Structure 1
């Protein structure tokens, strides 16, 4: 079982969107029993809350379920439990590095999956309001990530 954790600031916009999109894509490829996917935030403001309405709207528009996704905060044990820890921006990575266990953890930046994109961070739609752009990047990146997982781990 390969375990993937997406991380953003509050775990209501970008990381739950990526969790839902990767779950969907894994299901389409018949890999849902081979890959466990979760998301977390570095902050604690939204613990227990469902994804942001903008995220939910994008997922629904693309026929992707958000069932069972609720915000949680990153924990030290996550560094040991996940094969891939993928953060959405530099600030998220810096925050992860301050959590015990995060100093030396292998953390992948989401936009490193998309080297041909001009953006180097996934824009936070909580602040930009542009959930469509965030979805576009996450959709592309999750496709690349799934290929990477299949080639490296499955």
Structure 2
């Protein structure tokens, strides 16, 4: 089982969008039984809440389910439980790496590391309102991410 965790600041916009998109992609490729996919936030402000309305609207528009998804905060145990922890921006990466010092198993990297282009971070649509841009970046990276993970897991 390949375990993938997406992480953003509050776990209501970017990381649940990435979780839902990646889960849908893996399912369409017939690989759902090989993956465990989740998301978490650095903070606990939104714990227990569903994805933000802008995220839900983009996922609905794309026909991608987010059923049952609720925000949660990343835990130390996640760094040993997951094989890949993918952060949405540099601050999320630094925060996870601080946690990682105590639980060093997971491979941690920034989502934009797998996307060709000039952007280094997935912009937070909670602040920008640009859910279309965020969705496009998630879409661009998901296919390459899946290819990279499958290559590495062989």
124-133 or 140-149, larger mean C-alpha shift? 140-149
Contact 1:96 1:102 in 2 (8 A): no
Partner of 1:148: 148
Contact 2:80 2:104 in 1 (8 A): no
**TM-superposed deviation, 1:98:** 2.8
Mapping 1:27-106, distance limit 5 Å? 27-99=27-99, 101=102, 106=107
CA distance in 2, matches of 1:103, 1:131: 33
CA distance in 2, matches of 1:101, 1:123: 28
CA distance in 1, matches of 2:93, 2:152: 23
TM-score (norm 1): 0.95
Contact 1:40 1:73 in 2 (8 A): yes
Higher helix share: 2
Unaligned 5+ segments in structure 2 are none
- SS of the equivalent of 1:76 reads coil
Q: How large is the Cα RMSD of the aligned pairs?
A: 1.4
Distance 1:120 1:7, change over 3 A: same
Contact 2:4 2:85 in 1 (8 A): yes
**TM-superposed deviation, 1:101:** 2.4
CA distance in 2, matches of 1:110, 1:24: 17
CA distance in 2, matches of 1:37, 1:18: 10
**TM-superposed deviation, 1:68:** 1.6
Unaligned 5+ segments in structure 1 are none
Q: Give the count of matched residue pairs.
A: 153
